[in-house]
Amino acid sequence: MGIKGKELLVFFKRRGGVVPYAAILKAGFHKGNLKALIASGHIQKLDRGVYKLSELDDLANPDLVIAAIRAPKGVVCLLSSLAYYEVTDEIPRNVNLAIPRGTHANKIKHPPVKYYRFTLAAWKAGIETKKLAVL
């Protein structure tokens, strides 16, 4: 593993172990570095454009992690939130995300996402930040 490969591993660790492809490129890493780390088993592909450190334990909520990366302004809500806090035994068909009115809703094929638009005041109310991917 070269110097850039080691730097990329450090980058993953600083970002909590799960990183979108766009962030890797923006940080100045070449896709060849990523491919080499995947081939060596240091990094795994979670989904299209989302990668994680192999040393990271399996994610308890991989769909929520992927949805959060792909829709950074999304806030988990409704049934998805109840399932996360184990207040329901129903398994959500979609990841339910609240976004502010007027915000662009990214199209996400996997996991299936359903957006709900709220006023800015309602969207901000009661937001809790959780770390879903940590080393």
73 and 116: one domain?
yes
Residue 20 structure tokens = 């979108």
Tell me if 35 is assigned to some domain.
Answer: yes
79 and 46: one domain?
no
Instruction: Over range 101-111, report the average pLDDT.
Output: 89
Question: In total, how many domains does the chain have?
Answer: 2
Q: Which residues pair with 53 in a beta bridge?
A: 43
CA distance 93 to 83: 11
37 and 90: one domain?
no
Q: How many CA atoms lie within 13 A of 123 on its CB side?
A: 16
Instruction: Over range 34-48, report the average pLDDT.
Output: 92
CA distance 76 to 110: 16
Q: What is the pLDDT of residue 135?
A: 37
CA distance 97 to 68: 9
CA distance 4 to 32: 10
119 and 70: one domain?
yes
76 and 93: one domain?
yes
Tell me if 131 is assigned to some domain.
Answer: no
Tell me if 129 is assigned to some domain.
Answer: no
77: domain range? 62-124
Q: pLDDT tens for residues 66-86?
A: 898 889 889 999 999 999 999
Identity of the residue numbered 128: E
The yes-or-no verdict on residue 89 having pLDDT over 60 is: yes
Give SS3 for 105: coil
Tell me if 112 is assigned to some domain.
Answer: yes
Q: What is the pLDDT of residue 72?
A: 86
pTM for the predicted model, two decimal places? 0.74
Q: pLDDT tens for residues 44-55?
A: 998 888 899 999
Tell me if 133 is assigned to some domain.
Answer: no
Instruction: Over range 26-41, report the average pLDDT.
Output: 93
